[in-house]
Structure 1
Amino acid sequence: MSDVMDAFEAFSSVLTDNFHKKKVNVEFFCGECCKKAVKGKLEHIDRHVIILDGDEKDIKVITFGDKGPIDIEFVEKIIIPIKNICSVEIPSRDDKRED
């Protein structure tokens, strides 16, 4: 097995063990853009994609430019290719800021 496949297997395993069914923030690339999906429930993980569900509240998707956020949209679900993911975070429970 190649090092790339080992990395994907390790990433998928960590997501499954520690992040599955939890609210997460996911930073990812979409073409030349950097985006961040905020507080979506991690519903599905496989070797190719993850699926986030709004779980009764829309997911905020922020598009970033050179100087910060340039667009915000709200979605019910989002499919993100694993190869495009930069990071997956579990938001702080103490974070009282508005979404």
Structure 2
Amino acid sequence: MTTADTQHVGAAHKTVTVIVDEEPVPGVPQHTTPNEILQLAGIDPATHYLVLVNGRHRESFKDQGDKDITVHERETFVSVFTGPTPTS
């Protein structure tokens, strides 16, 4: 294995801390999926989807939970509930 190969393998396993619903979620692989981030945050991906918040810009991952994404340290996300809304 060359030095370049070793560096690439190390980069593939790098983890970061992201923010989900204003809570830090440490240990998120830099190359991951929205569903994996939700699971690490203790949120059920079957009833939620993730939205990346970058200033005023929002990037929704609705119906894209298994999409490969690259996340960066302290990126901010919110979860959106997709289940039924109870009525009173």
TM over 0.5: no
Greater strand share, structure number: 1
Greater RCO (CA < 8 Å, at least 6 residues apart): 2
TM range (shorter): 0.3 to 0.5
TM-score by length of 1: 0.31
